Structure 1
Amino acid sequence: MKLYFVRHGETDWNKARKIQGQVDIPLNEFGRMLAKKTAKGLADIPFTVCYTSPMGRAKETAELILAGRDVPIVIDERIVEMGFGEYEGKCCSKKGWELPDNFHCFFTDPVNYIAPKGGEGFADVKKRTGDFLEELYQKEEYKDSNILITTHGAALAGLLNNIKKRSLAEYWGVGVHKNCAVTEVLVEEGVPRIIFENKVYYDDVTEPWEDL
């Protein structure tokens, strides 16, 4: 089994550094272009099935990557983005910061991050994404398949934190993946191994979060 994880394409809220969480913000035109370029990069991969977050930005990314192919797309709530409750829609760039000071823990100290009202903690996201992976590993019908998984920045970090068997303190790993970045994971006898991580199939410039 090979898993191809893809973070969704860019949205206007990504560009403005607003916290999207579980608000259903669509891709912008640049995001759609990135997804189409990613489709070309993955054109030779014969996907059997795709799992996507229910958010439109992740689902449309999957649809653009799989355009012209007869590949079923399955929605799974467990790979939806982390919920940020009352903080959703707030800006988290250095220049436009609209959050309490303790929200800095989100980026630097996941263990001590305090979820806002209506939001999730890192352990919650790690648990549900881990459950998704364990169930997927056991699907005998997909043991020789290539599977596309389209999701979100924090949810994807949770998936990879589970795969790497790292602590919650190391939740972010290499950091937030670029929009439409691809990570390939080989799963043999239920044991995952990362082949490559955060690879893009485009030359367009996207600014890192920490630079804004």
Structure 2
Amino acid sequence: MRHGETDWNKKKLVQGRKDIPLNEYGRHLARETSYGMRQYQIDLAYTSPLRRAKETAEILLEGRNIPLYEDQRIQEISFGSYEGMSCVDKTKEENLAFQKFFQDTGNYIPPEDAESVEQLYERTGDFLKSLEESKKLKDKNLLISTHGAAMTAMLNRMRGSLSVEHFWKNEVPPNCSVTIAELEGSGFKIIREGIIFYKEEVKHWKAV
């Protein structure tokens, strides 16, 4: 699942590795999602160490005796020096350069202190591989609390595509959207995608 809303999401600021907490609306979305997720058995959970993902997982697991583990491999992509600036401002050169991440991903060039889409694919893929190969996790139901780009990278891998050019073919997952996947043989198969357990309409986010 993707984390709940933050103030930076609301203001459309580049978030990346900036450790921005949930806002009250984001906590509300997480609570509504927790009610819907009660129907599913969860044996253990993994979360990005960033607060917005971890708090989302903690809200969802509240009152349930389920262990929660942090994993650096599922934190959000790093945008380096782009973090904190507007996603939609078209008056500055650096803002236009960043917007390629969403609008022309194949030609997106990260700053020197940032991470590439290929690197994101590599570390999230390593995380999924570790789940696949774990005998301890066989027949377990896992919750993974992560971020928009990190979640998209994992889902793209499950779809069998590591294309950078078409990275956002299925758009950015809405806040607190849930996808269910099952491990079949040597890979994951997506069973249901983009499940929303709250009543509010949270639209797919795009940089425009």
- TM-score bin, normalised by smaller chain: over 0.9
- Code of the residue aligned with 2:120 in structure 1: it is V
Structure 2: distance between partners of 1:23 and 1:186: 31
Q: Any unmatched runs of 5+ in structure 2?
A: none
Q: Which residue of 2 aligns with 1:50?
A: 45
Higher alpha-carbon deviation: 12-21 or 194-203: 194-203
Q: 1:154 aligns with which of 149, 152, 177?
A: 149
Higher RCO, 1 vs 2 (CA within 8 Å, ≥6 residues apart): 1
TM-score norm. by structure 2 comes to 0.94
**Does the C-alpha gap of structure 1 residues 48 and 32 become closer, same or farther in structure 2, counting only changes over 3 Å?**
same
Q: Which residue of 2 aligns with 1:188?
A: 184
Q: 2:170 aligns with which of 149, 174, 194?
A: 174
Q: 2:26 aligns with which of 6, 31, 35?
A: 31
Q: Any unmatched runs of 5+ in structure 1?
A: 1-5
**8 Å contact kept, 2:86–2:95:** no
**8 Å contact kept, 2:88–2:95:** no
Query: Cα RMSD between the aligned structures?
Result: 1.7
Quote how far apart the aligned CAs of 1:17 are: 0.3
- Code of the residue aligned with 1:141 in structure 2: it is K
- Code of the residue aligned with 2:19 in structure 1: it is D
**Runs (4+) off by over 3 Å:** 94-100
Higher alpha-carbon deviation: 149-158 or 93-102: 93-102
**8 Å contact kept, 2:110–2:116:** yes
Q: Which residue of 1 aligns with 2:74?
A: 79
- Code of the residue aligned with 1:106 in structure 2: it is F
**8 Å contact kept, 1:17–1:93:** yes
Quote how far apart the aligned CAs of 1:211 are: 7.6
**8 Å contact kept, 1:85–1:118:** yes
Residues paired across the two proteins, number = 207
**8 Å contact kept, 2:89–2:95:** no
